[in-house]
Copies of this chain bind each other. A is one copy, B any other.
Amino acid sequence: MSPDEADFVDRMGLWLEMAGGTRTMGRIYGRLMVCDPPHQSLAQLAEALGVSKASVSTVARQLQEVGMIERRPSSERRHEYRITAGGFTRVLQLQAARMQPGIAAAEFGLSAVGADRSVQREHLEELRDFLEFCIRDFGADFVSRWESFRDGRRGNGG
Contacts and interface: CB of A to CB of B under 8 A. Distances in A.
A155 interface: no
Given A34-B112, A98-B18, A113-B34, A146 B133 contact: yes
A8 B109 contact: yes
Nearest to A150: B129
A146 B130 contact: yes
A60 to B, nearest CB: 17
A117 B35 CA distance: 10
DSSP class of A's interface residues: helix, strand, loop or mixed?
A: helix
A102 B19 contact: yes
Copies in the assembly, this chain = 2
A113 B83 contact: no
A48 interface: no
A39 B131 CA distance: 24
A47 interface: no
Contacts of A36: 117, 120
B102 A15 contact: yes
Interface in A82-127: 83, 85-86, 88-89, 92, 98-99, 101-102, 104-105, 108-109, 111-113, 117, 119-120, 123-127
